[in-house]
Amino acid sequence: MIRVENLHKSFGSTEILRGVSLDIEEGQITTIIGQSGTGKSVFFKHLIGILKPDQGRIWFHDTEVTAADTPTLVEVRTHFGYAFQGAALFDSMSVAENIAFPLREVLGVTDRKDTARRVGEMLDWIGLPGIEKKRPAELSGGMRKRVGVARALVTKPDVLLFDEPTTGLDPVLGETINDLVVRVNKELELTCVVITHDIQASFRISDKIAFLHEGLVAVEGTPKEVARSTHPIVRKFIENSFNELEV
């Protein structure tokens, strides 16, 4: 579905991506994991053409994103939803207005009844019915995250990108959001791509994990395959994560 080939990106003299290659399969949850500063967010921005690589190519189905003109990029982006790390809700808008924003701005939907129906369906689906009139400031962190997911889903994309979905949440709320990622994948049959530093969560929810280190995919495979990796950085990352869990 998405193929990334030999992706390079530098900012000034700093190399961020140094030859990333990865296949993201349709209908799966693929998790991009790694320490802070390894290029996970930069990689995400290349997938939807926000950034242009210095070298390398990306395909979405048969469309080469890295060679696409502006109208083609706009069309490609309609197939993607993006759940931002901090939800990125507009404080001046109600929950309903936040969720409806991409309907109007991306799809050009202007019918108020249709918009209200779609917003209500999304809120029901994420388990937060009846909060249309609330403001983001009235919501808990977990509720804001779920509203952010609803906004990403309302345009009915084929692929949903999750940027650090559990960051800033306690373990219980984090599990709720991880369960939501799985529901998006299984119930709505969407391809999901998740970037995170939470390796415990990635083992639980992923079909495939790609471990980024120093701008390259150091290890990729199923959770079991990654868990058996002998790569020293991956081993240290895994062991530190699970030692913290035991403490």
Q: Which two tokens stand for residue 246?
A: 């035991």
Q: How far apart are CA 12 and CA 110, in angstroms?
A: 43
Q: What percent of the chain has pLDDT over 70?
A: 98
Instruction: Write out pLDDT tens, residues 195-231.
Output: 998 888 999 999 999 999 999 999 999 999 999 999 9
Res. 185: pLDDT tops 90: yes
Q: In sequence order, what are the residues at sequence separation of 6 or more whose Cβ sits closer than 8 angstroms to the Cβ of residue 99?
A: 118, 119, 122, 123, 147, 150, 151, 154
pLDDT (0 to 100) of residue 244: 55
pLDDT (0 to 100) of residue 247: 42
Tell the burial category of 79 from Cβ atoms under 10 Å away from its Cβ (0-12, 13-18, 19+).
Answer: middle
User: What separation in angstroms does the CA of 102 have from each of 28, 81, 203?
Assistant: 24, 10, 32
pLDDT (0 to 100) of residue 5: 97
Average pLDDT over residues 3-28: 96
pLDDT (0 to 100) of residue 120: 97
pLDDT (0 to 100) of residue 90: 94
Res. 27: pLDDT tops 60: yes
- Would you kindly state where each structural domain of the chain is located, as residue ranges? 91-156
Instruction: Write out pLDDT tens, residues 36-80.
Output: 778 898 999 999 999 999 999 999 999 999 999 999 999 999 999
Instruction: Write out pLDDT tens, residues 99-154.
Output: 999 999 888 888 999 999 999 999 999 999 999 999 999 999 899 999 999 999 99
Average pLDDT over residues 190-198: 94
Average pLDDT over residues 160-185: 92
Average pLDDT over residues 172-195: 95
Average pLDDT over residues 17-40: 92
- CA nearest neighbour of 193 among 74, 40, 38: 40
Query: In sequence order, what DSSP letters do the residues of the chain get, joined into one string?
Result: -EEEEEEEEEETTEEEEEEEEEEE-TTSEEEEE--TTSSHHHHHHHHTTSS--SEEEEEETTEEGGG--HHHHHHHHTTEEEE-TT----TTS-HHHHHHHHHHHTS----HHHHHHHHHHHHHHTT-TT-TT--GGGS-HHHHHHHHHHHHHTT--SEEEEESTTTT--HHHHHHHHHHHHHHHHHS--EEEEEES-HHHHHHH-SEEEEEETTEEEEEE-HHHHHT---HHHHHHHHHHHHHHH-
Res. 179: pLDDT tops 60: yes
User: What separation in angstroms does the CA of 112 have from each of 97, 118, 154, 213?
Assistant: 11, 10, 14, 47
* Cβ pair 1, 60 in contact under 8 A: yes
